[in-house]
Amino acid sequence: GFVKFNSSEEAEKAIQVMNGMKIDNKTLKVSIARPSSTMIKETNLYVSNLPLTLSKDDLDMLFGAYGTIIDSKILTDPHTGG
């Protein structure tokens, strides 16, 4: 999934706390996503190893504690839904 913060400071704070956190026996991997433009540089996080049961609202709640989320999404496989 992806979580886009308002500032690079907020994104860095979320990485420090959330990277390695366990949710439903899954260990989250959180890092800066490759920027598609200089406007979002160092504010867009890539979050991998999310539990299949985690919703977008859950993702927003988890990361919202670290700053203002501009956008977020959970990537799913269109064929399997997972």
pLDDT in tens, 16-46: 999 999 999 999 999 988 766 555 566 889 9
Instruction: Calculate the average pLDDT of the chain.
Output: 87
Buried b (16+ CB within 10 A) or exposed e, 53-81: ebeeeebeebbbebbebeebeeeeeeeee
